[in-house]
Amino acid sequence: MSQPFYITTPIYYVNDRPHLGHAYTTIVADVASRFHSMRQVDTFFLTGTDEHGDKVVRAAKNENLTPRVYVNKISSLFKALWPELKIKYDYFIRTTDVNHISAVEHVMKKIYDSGDIYFSEYKGLYCFGCERFYTERELVDGKCPDHETTPEPIEESNYFFKMSRYQNWLIDHIKGHPDFITPERYKNEVLSFLKEPLEDLCISRPKKRLKWGITLPFDKDYVIYVWFDALLNYVSALGYPDGELFKTFWSSALHVVGKDILKPHGIYWPIMLRAAGIPVYKHLKVHGYWNVDQSKMSKSIGNVVEPLQLKSIYGLDAFRYFLMREMTFGLDSNFGEDALVQRINSDLANDLGNLFSRVLTMAHKYFSGIVPKVDMKVENELHLGLESAAMTTIVEFEKDMEMFAFHKALMKIWDFIGQLNKYIDITAPWELAKKKSSRRQLEIVIYNLLEGLRIISGLIYPVMPDKAKTMQAHLGLDANGPFYNLDTLKTWKTLKPGTTLPKSITLFPRIDPKKDKVLPSEIDASLSMVPAIKPEITIDDLREVDLRVGTVIRAETIPRAKKLLKLEVDIGEKRTIVAGISESYNPDDLVGKQVVVVANLKAAKLMGIRSNGMLLAAVADTECAVATFDKKVKKGTPIG
């Protein structure tokens, strides 16, 4: 067994629903992890959620939930999404896990005892979005470069981590390990940042300002700065300090992150590890942004793309292929549905899909779907360098995958697909089939083509695991055998003559750009998260809900309640209803509207007001649309 492989994604904030950006990073880690399993390397793949801090408290408040209930809700959205995208992680960490908390306490104490933490007064500019202080130098036109908001001046006593002490060590480490931070541009970015004196890092938040966090083990009045807590997930998940997983995997750690979090990973994290006496991670791989219309995809901009929606329209493997093929790891890419359709039709349906069905159709037509035998005597003349082309493809694929040049690795596979298509044109099996005397030649041509498909089915496995399996099944390969194992792939003539092959199928249906493209070109961010359909109910269950037509006769805001409006609705009798719709409606816009009221909902008190009923509305994040009628209806009419 070679060196183990430990790969991580950032742990995602639970203040945001998962979108294409999160999916990309996680799919990259999945692809890299699957690639290492092709080499029979012992792999461990970690992902999870970052659940402490101010952002989470504010997001929970917005949904009228306690932080604990809120983090459980959003964390489970991430957890449920990954299997849908065929993400094969080994462990899902949450920073609210008790094991994580005790590992964080352990490290904090260790650093504190070694004298790298001190207590001091601090006055600085704080960005609540980033949950950190900014120096004047880091601001752009006085604003946070990420959130484009003016940070607030804050003055308080806090604990500080002496990062400055490790500045020279970090510079030497980065320079001495050229593949520590890659691609190169990000290494240079970190080194250029390190040209200026490094300021010590404020690592606590007073509980009087923020309670939702891990208490400092040496001062119960403070919680730990969320980044200090979060970064430690990479070791706590392995059972640091004594866990067997930690002993096995830590030395091979590779972190995949987006460029937005280069600084915490490229500067804070190695210094924290050094100060805690833990060996530093091996690699940091940094990728660029998926943009929509040249802006980074994010909830606040309102241009998020929903991965499950793309999966349901285009199929999961096509979606995974597009992400890996379209983005050069490290650079930004623009997400466009036209480009996605184009890739599916040309690379997947045309090139790979056609080759697959052409070869299998010929195997059925000429050999009744049975893998032909190979006559060594005629093999050489029809070999045409196919075996060596396959081997070169595998070697180059390995090199590119190792470097995270996924788009190049895929290009190499597609070059080989092109070679196989050319092989068909040159050998013209339909001509060979016309003469009995060329039967031997026909056998070897079809056999070689099936072998070519076997290699392709293995090489696409990390990016398109489902389609790889489908291809494998159609080549009669042993479902239990790891058909994607690189050593097996490198052994030409693995397919067993005499094996019966299933009939060809359409591997990738073509997309008609006019008919099938159903995503609106301007993605409606607010309504983009489509939750799973709930378990079935009967018509009798539904009849229990008494829905009525109501007319809004008064609407007003409620002091101190950001989301709520107080409505008076006439459903044949007057009802007071408190509705969480004020971010989408002005009170005046609602008066006179006919709405759908749940009339038999148990009354509840909201902000001290007794709410007697509920309005139906489509709700996504903070946006909502109240259900109304397309013509006038008598108030109080039952809805069925």
* Residues designated as active site: 19, 22, 127, 130, 144, 147, 296, 299
DSSP output for 287-325? E--EEETTEE--TTTT----HHHHHHHH-HHHHHHHHHH
Say which residues have a Cβ less than 8 Å from residue 52's Cβ, sequence separation at least 6. 95, 96, 212, 213, 214, 223, 224, 226, 229, 230
**Least distance from ligand MSP to the Cβ atom of residue 286, Å:** 9
**Least distance from ligand MSP to the Cβ atom of residue 170, Å:** 18
- Under the binding rule (CB under 6 A), the answer on residue 219 touching ligand MSP is no
**Least distance from ligand MSP to the Cβ atom of residue 327, Å:** 9
- Under the binding rule (CB under 6 A), the answer on residue 550 touching ligand MSP is no
137-162: burial string, b at 16+ Cβ within 10 Å, e else: ebeeeeebeeeeeebeeeeeebbbbb
**Least distance from ligand MSP to the Cβ atom of residue 515, Å:** 29
- Under the binding rule (CB under 6 A), the answer on residue 87 touching ligand MSP is no
Contact with ligand MSP (CB under 6 A) among 17, 22, 566, 575: 22
Minimum CB distance to ligand MSP smaller for 235 or for 614: 235
Identify which range of 99-107, 146-154, 254-262, 561-569 contacts ligand MSP by CB under 6 A. Answer: 254-262
Say which residues have a Cβ less than 8 Å from residue 301's Cβ, sequence separation at least 6. 295
**Least distance from ligand MSP to the Cβ atom of residue 313, Å:** 20
**Contact between 313 and 518 (Cβ < 8 Å):** yes
Identify which range of 255-263, 308-316, 362-370, 413-421 contacts ligand MSP by CB under 6 A. Answer: 255-263
Q: Name the residue with the smallest CB distance to ligand MSP.
A: 21
Element (H, E) at 194: none
Interaction residues for ligand MSP, span 264-303 (CB under 6 A): 289-290, 296-297
Distance of CA 265 to the CA centre of its chain: 18
- Under the binding rule (CB under 6 A), the answer on residue 133 touching ligand MSP is no
Distances (CA, A) of 65 to 61, 71, 262, 527, 558: 6, 9, 32, 21, 18
Minimum CB distance to ligand MSP smaller for 339 or for 384: 339
Minimum CB distance to ligand MSP smaller for 21 or for 429: 21
Contact with ligand MSP (CB under 6 A) among 5, 6, 7, 25: 25
Q: How far apart are CA 424 and CA 445, in angstroms?
A: 8
**Burial environment of residue 75 by CB neighbours within 10 A (0 to 12, 13 to 18, 19 or more):** buried
**Least distance from ligand MSP to the Cβ atom of residue 289, Å:** 4
Nearest in space to 261 (alpha carbons), one of 75, 22, 438: 22
Contact with ligand MSP (CB under 6 A) among 50, 131, 317, 400: 50
Minimum CB distance to ligand MSP smaller for 138 or for 219: 138
**Least distance from ligand MSP to the Cβ atom of residue 305, Å:** 9
- Under the binding rule (CB under 6 A), the answer on residue 320 touching ligand MSP is no
Q: How far apart are CA 250 and CA 322, in angstroms?
A: 31
- Under the binding rule (CB under 6 A), the answer on residue 54 touching ligand MSP is no
Minimum CB distance to ligand MSP smaller for 50 or for 351: 50
Minimum CB distance to ligand MSP smaller for 14 or for 614: 14
Minimum CB distance to ligand MSP smaller for 55 or for 575: 55
Minimum CB distance to ligand MSP smaller for 12 or for 126: 12
Distances (CA, A) of 631 to 216, 269, 521, 594, 639: 61, 61, 30, 9, 14
Contact with ligand MSP (CB under 6 A) among 190, 214, 257, 549: 257
Beta strands 290-292; 333-334: pairing state: parallel
Element (H, E) at 158: strand 152-161
Distance of CA 522 to the CA centre of its chain: 21
Q: How far apart are CA 520 and CA 123, in angstroms?
A: 47
Contact with ligand MSP (CB under 6 A) among 41, 65, 261, 405: 261
- Under the binding rule (CB under 6 A), the answer on residue 21 touching ligand MSP is yes
Minimum CB distance to ligand MSP smaller for 231 or for 549: 231
Identify which range of 167-175, 253-261, 365-373, 511-519 contacts ligand MSP by CB under 6 A. Answer: 253-261
**Least distance from ligand MSP to the Cβ atom of residue 11, Å:** 5
SS3 content of the chain, % helix, strand, coil (to 5): 45, 20, 35
Contact with ligand MSP (CB under 6 A) among 124, 151, 183, 258: 258
**Contact between 320 and 86 (Cβ < 8 Å):** yes
Q: How far apart are CA 543 and CA 534, in angstroms?
A: 17
**Least distance from ligand MSP to the Cβ atom of residue 236, Å:** 11
Encoded amino acid at 250, one letter:
W
Contact with ligand MSP (CB under 6 A) among 260, 556, 570, 623: 260
Say which residues have a Cβ less than 8 Å from residue 602's Cβ, sequence separation at least 6. none
Minimum CB distance to ligand MSP smaller for 27 or for 552: 27
Contact with ligand MSP (CB under 6 A) among 11, 32, 363, 626: 11
Contacts with ligand MSP by CB under 6 A: the residue count is 21
Beta strands 547-557; 219-224: pairing state: unpaired
- Under the binding rule (CB under 6 A), the answer on residue 24 touching ligand MSP is yes
Encoded amino acid at 382, one letter:
L
Minimum CB distance to ligand MSP smaller for 297 or for 349: 297
Identify which range of 199-207, 228-236, 490-498, 551-559 contacts ligand MSP by CB under 6 A. Answer: 228-236
Encoded amino acid at 562, one letter:
K
Distances (CA, A) of 135 to 145, 149, 151: 12, 14, 10
**Least distance from ligand MSP to the Cβ atom of residue 21, Å:** 2
- Under the binding rule (CB under 6 A), the answer on residue 253 touching ligand MSP is no
**Least distance from ligand MSP to the Cβ atom of residue 126, Å:** 17
Distances (CA, A) of 126 to 12, 98, 184, 267: 21, 29, 30, 19
Contact with ligand MSP (CB under 6 A) among 230, 348, 413, 417: 230
Q: How far apart are CA 457 and CA 494, in angstroms?
A: 13
Binding site for ligand MSP (CB under 6 A): 10-13, 16, 21-22, 24-25, 50, 230-231, 233, 257-258, 260-261, 289-290, 296-297
